[in-house]
Structure formats: C-alpha cells, structure tokens
Amino acid sequence: MQAWEEHVRKVVPYTPGEQPVCKDIIKLNTNENPYPPSPKALEVLQNIDGQLLRKYPDPEARQLVEELAGYYGRKTSEVFVGVGSDDVLAMSFLTFFNGQKPILFPDITYSFYDVWADLFRIPYECQPLDDKFKIRTKDYKKRCGGIVIPNPNAPTGVEKELSELEEIIAANRDVIVIIDEAYIDFGGTSAVKLLPEYDNLLVVQTFSKSRSLAGMRIGYAFGNEKLIKYLNDAKYSFNSYTMNTITAAMGAAAVRDDAYFKATIDKIISTREWTKQELARLGFTFPDSKSNFIFASHARRPAAEIFEALKVQGIYVRYFDKPRINNYLRITIGTDREMKALIEFLEKYLGENV
C-alpha cells in the first residue's frame, strides 16, 4: 500500500446489472421498460435546437419541475429533480442522514443503500424481512437516524400497504422517512397522498421504469417545501447543472403524454400476470409482485444453474449470490414475445432436467 492510500475514501461500489453490447439478447436483467419512450418525448429529441446546447441548462430544470408538480398536484417548491433516482437518493442520504443514530432499511433491498451509507459514513442497521419477504412494521418503530424503504421492495417486488407505511412515518416524526417508489406505477399505492400530513416524508420516483427513459437519467422527489429547500442547498453545493437541457425537455414531454404512459403500464401489468401463471405452472414460487419484475425460485433446479442456462440461450435475468436470496432469479417483465420465449425455454430446460 502506498502512503497516500491511507487517506483515500475507500468504498465498495454498487454493481449494476450487465448491459451487454450484443443486440440479439432478451434483456430481462435491469428492470428496464421493454417499450420505447413516449413518441412525444422522442419528438422533442428529434427537434432539439442544437444551438441551445451552447448555454448551460436551467439549473432548476423548471420546465420539468412544473410538469411534475402539475401532474402530481404538488407545488413546484415541493419537487426536487435529479439525474436518475439514484442521484436523488444519494443527495437525500447526504442531506438528511446526518445524525449519530443508525438509519434503518430492510436486509434484503436495493443494494445501493448500504453503498451510499458507507460512502457518506452513515451508520445503518438492516431490518430482516419476514419469511414471506415482508417488511415488518414493528422493526421501524425505534429510535433511529432515518428510514429508507422501497415500495414495492426490490428485488422481491413485494408491496407494503400504505396504512402500514403511514404507521412507520407517523412513529418517526423526528427523522426523515424516504419511500423509494421506483416501481410504484405498476400497480402499487403511492405515498404521495400522505405528503400533506407528514413533513418528515420524502417520496422518490423515477422515469427509468414506467416511463421508459432509463437512458436519459431522470429521478424526482416530493416533500414539503423546507425539506426540498435543504435538498436543493446540498445539490447546489455539489453541482448546479445536474440535469441537461435535452433531458429536462424530454422528461416534461413524457409527463404530458399521459395516455401513452398508462397504456404502457397496462401492457406490462397484463404480461406480468400472464408470466406469474406460467411460472407457477412450471413449478416456480415467488412472492406476489406489484412491480415490473418477478422474484422467482424453483423447487428442483438451483437458481444459479437456471441463470447460466438462460444466459447461454441469450436470455439475461438477474441473480444475486447473497444469503437467503441465492436461490432466486429476478426476472424483468419484457414484451409478450420475450416472456413467451423465456417460458418456452424454461419449459424445455426443466423438462430435460428432472
């Protein structure tokens, strides 16, 4: 070790899902939307005046903030936007989790939370899910430095009832509770409606899943004015121009195209329900999912083997080699054609491997 290495901020980074360059694969590994972004958003991209890019973007991304505020019935001062919800969440950890007490989140959850906690030197305590992969309300009713809960949870897809989340938010009024709603649009009930009641609540959402814009990197959060002001103060102390001109304009157009948004979600939900039936028929078990993925395990074949066999076939799903979940596959919902190809392969594979 070099002497200077002693002063390096050492972190074990988050490992994102693979993004293979090869085009002929069925990609069900990173919870992307299989459908294209709204044609209205793509129109904005095609018609963008290149001369605009000479100038810095609007640091407040007002066009997008106004559209989001209007759509969700909030004031613009209650909206924060960032470069994907990862950026919004990272900024929120930095801003709100600044105490001595550990923050709380589930033991099986989005694996970026502990990475940010380590990066920002935030103490944390993971709360075990029950044997049905459910978050236990009572685990979050103790003194702590803050709470972050994804709803639905990832990678399980399990939704927690809003009334139970409200119990947690109400029991923790002296700290910030972040509800990460990356997958809420696929049939869950959003905590946005609790915002008028709770000044300690931050609801975070993304354009990466339900709005098919993972590549543009747009995330946002709703909270009361004071909380959003604190978030913006931290953001402007870090980088004023996080969101570029094109992204803000495309995001605003995507929000305006509500019909396309709803139609895409309906398609994904119906494909998900079909996939659930087919996986069950093939002997898979899974907690009920309210997201755009299914977390499935097979009684006879180890998940790691199925994962490899699928990959050879050009079907990418996600496998986490971690305690309690190392016999599960997280399968993103693709198009009907993609899911049929998955099921056909699994049927053949499992038939041959009895």
- Sites of contact with ligand PMP (CB under 6 A): 84-86, 110, 150, 154, 180, 182, 206, 208, 214, 219
Instruction: DSSP for 241-306, please give it.
Output: --S-HHHHHHHHHHHH-HHHHHHHHHHHHHHHHHHHHHHHHTTEE-----SSEEEEEESSS-HHHH
**Which residue stretches of the chain are H helix?**
39-46, 62-72, 84-96, 113-119, 162-170, 225-236, 245-256, 258-281, 303-312, 336-352
Closer residue to ligand PMP, CB minimum distance, 178 or 346: 178
61: region left, alpha or beta (phi > 0 left; psi from -120 to 50 alpha): left
Angle at alpha carbon of residue 212, lines to 208 and 213, rounded to 5°: 55
Residue 84 CB, shortest distance to ligand PMP, in Å, is 3
Helical (H) or strand (E) element with 126: strand 124-127
Residue 86 CB, shortest distance to ligand PMP, in Å, is 3
Residue 54 CB, shortest distance to ligand PMP, in Å, is 28
Instruction: Give the residue closest to ligand PMP by C-beta.
Output: 84
Residue 291 CB, shortest distance to ligand PMP, in Å, is 9
Closer residue to ligand PMP, CB minimum distance, 110 or 260: 110
DSSP label at 113? H
Closer residue to ligand PMP, CB minimum distance, 275 or 332: 332
Closer residue to ligand PMP, CB minimum distance, 169 or 218: 218
Closer residue to ligand PMP, CB minimum distance, 41 or 346: 41
Residue 198 CB, shortest distance to ligand PMP, in Å, is 20
